[in-house]
């Protein structure tokens, strides 16, 4: 990493000077709610992405945020505890993506532990998904999970310090923010999209949460297919297209997620039904068919069983 860039971000900030003078960590700067860091307080209005140095000389207690945090380690290291149990040590040149609403804590950092945080609003991932396109199932699934704050993917860890293309791109991005903070918003957005494109292609470098490390390509394809083609998904067709049996796909789904294919499909269809009930004026019968159910009676029974209320009751209580 560029030495001049490291020196820029290693400069002691006013907040760090106060901490060095034995002042406490003021969480009110980050949020009105102690445990939830708010993008509206940290990301300038009308910007999707901003960058700020990670605050040193203090340990950050467990907290969440309503934006995606992309931490890049410039020198030294940071130690993260995610979900109260998993530990990730981020070293120079490496990248850690922390999902929305994922609980994590960061150990105290010293003078030489220099990191920067890209704070990314969820709206950015609509743009990123368009860039990834339909070919990269892993990228599409993971970016959608970051956009929606899927709790099953608390973090993505990329030990990419030896990947020159990513390191050069990171340097370009950081210099852009240093030289023209608040400007070149379109360039910042495109460069962040390029960074995600690079990372999503590096399956060999990607490390997932412990719960997800046994995933394989078939599992990712299955989850992506259910998420995007929920209305027309058929297990037998999916298995045939991948040259395996339906029983094998079911076994993979159960091993990876703890749920059957039927449960995953029902979960996704009802998620979409809830969204349509809340955000549109489409008839309930139309919504039933749109999410993949031809038998409206079955849809009504399933919805009420899972949600504890009828579709009509759900719409009445959730409309603005």
The DSSP code for 48 is: S
Place of tokens 């008839």: 283
Across the chain, what does the average pLDDT equal? 85
pLDDT at res. 161: 92
C-beta separation of 5 from 177 below 8 A: no
pLDDT at res. 168: 93
What is the C-alpha separation between 95 and 158, in angstroms, rounded?
5
User: Does residue 170 register a pLDDT over 80?
Assistant: yes
Q: Read off the pLDDT of each residue in 62-87 and give the average, rounded to a whole number.
A: 90
pLDDT digits (tens, 9 = 90+) for 187-204: 888 888 899 888 877 766
Bridge pairing between strands 36-37 and 60-65: parallel
pLDDT digits (tens, 9 = 90+) for 106-149: 999 999 999 999 998 888 888 888 887 655 656 776 777 788 87
Q: Specify the higher pLDDT residue, 7 or 28.
A: 7
Which residues have C-beta within 8 Å of that of residue 104, sequence separation ≥ 6? 62, 63, 64, 80, 81, 82, 83, 98, 154, 155
User: Does residue 301 register a pLDDT over 90?
Assistant: yes
What is the chain's Cα-based Rg?
A: 22
Enumerate domains of the chain plus CATH numbers. Answer: 3-211 (2.60.120.280), 217-318 (1.10.10.60)
CA 120 from centre of chain: 10
**Closest of 273, 261, 254 to residue 226, by C-alpha:** 261
pLDDT at res. 47: 80
Question: Which tokens belong to 208?
Answer: 């997932």
pLDDT digits (tens, 9 = 90+) for 204-220: 677 777 655 555 567 77
User: Does residue 236 register a pLDDT over 90?
Assistant: yes
What is the C-alpha separation between 186 and 192, in angstroms, rounded?
10
Please give the backbone phi and psi of residue 82, each rounded to the nearest 5 degrees, phi first.
-110, 130
The DSSP code for 186 is: H
Whether the model clears a pTM of 0.75, i.e. scores above it, the answer is: no
Q: What percent of the chain has pLDDT over 90?
A: 37
pLDDT at res. 169: 93
In sign, the C-alpha dihedral spanning 179, 180, 185, 187 is: negative
């Amino acid at each position: 990493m560029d030495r001049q860039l490291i020196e820029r971000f290693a400069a002691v900030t006013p907040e760090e000077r106060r901490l060095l003078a034995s002042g406490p960590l003021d969480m009110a700067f980050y949020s009105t709610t102690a445990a939830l860091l708010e993008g509206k307080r940290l990301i300038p209005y009308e910007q999707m992405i901003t960058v700020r140095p990670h605050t040193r000389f203090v340990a950050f207690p467990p907290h969440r945020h309503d934006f995606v945090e992309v931490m890049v380690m410039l020198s030294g290291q940071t130690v993260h505890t995610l979900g109260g149990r998993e530990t990730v040590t981020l070293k120079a040149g490496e990248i850690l993506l922390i999902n929305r609403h994922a609980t994590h804590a960061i150990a105290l950092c010293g003078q030489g532990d220099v990191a920067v945080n890209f704070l990314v609003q969820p709206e950015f991932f609509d743009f990123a998904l368009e860039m990834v396109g339909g070919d990269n199932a892993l990228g599409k699934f993971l970016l959608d999970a970051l956009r929606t704050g899927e709790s099953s993917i608390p973090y993505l860890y990329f030990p990419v310090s030896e990947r020159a293309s990513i390191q050069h791109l990171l340097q370009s991005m950081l210099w852009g923010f240093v030289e023209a903070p608040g400007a070149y918003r379109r360039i910042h957005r495109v460069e962040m999209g390029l960074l995600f494109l690079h990372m999503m292609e590096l399956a060999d470098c990607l490390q997932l949460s412990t719960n997800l490390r046994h995933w394989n390509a078939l599992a990712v394809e299955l989850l992506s297919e259910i998420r995007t083609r929920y209305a027309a998904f058929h297990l037998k067709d999916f298995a045939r297209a991948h040259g395996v049996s339906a029983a094998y796909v079911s076994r993979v789904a159960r091993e990876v997620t703890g749920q059957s294919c039927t449960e995953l499909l029902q979960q996704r269809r009802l998620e979409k039904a809830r969204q349509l009930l809340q955000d549109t004026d489409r008839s309930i019968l139309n919504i039933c068919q749109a999410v993949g159910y031809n038998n409206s009676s079955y849809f009504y029974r399933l919805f009420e069983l899972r949600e504890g209320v009828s579709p009509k009751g759900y719409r009445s209580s959730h409309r603005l």
